[in-house]
Amino acid sequence: MTTRRNLVLAVTAVAATAVPLRQRLARAAGDVADFLFVQTAGAMTLDKAASRLTREGIGATTL
């Protein structure tokens, strides 16, 4: 648990540092929207023929 907590703290620090840079880039490029969705699952299957990734055992609050 300590490792996960340290990872979250490090990612938060890097993100806080990157905000001013991102704002400058967004102003230079116009209206830009970047999204990152992180979701976890107990297992997954990949159907290459249908290009479909199926997650199994996802949390109840996952949208």
* Beta-bridge partner residues of 62: none
Task: Quote the CA–CA distance of 50 and 56 in Å, as a whole number.
Answer: 17
pLDDT, mean of residues 12-40: 67
**Nearest-angstrom CA–CA distance, 12 and 21:** 15
> Could you tell me if 19 and 29 are in contact, meaning their C-beta atoms sit under 8 angstroms apart?
no
Q: What angle do CA 3, 14, 37 make, to 5 degrees?
A: 80
Q: pLDDT at residue 46 above 90?
A: yes
- Higher pLDDT among residues 40 and 16, named by residue: 40
Mean pLDDT of the chain: 75
Residue 59 confidence (pLDDT) above 60: yes
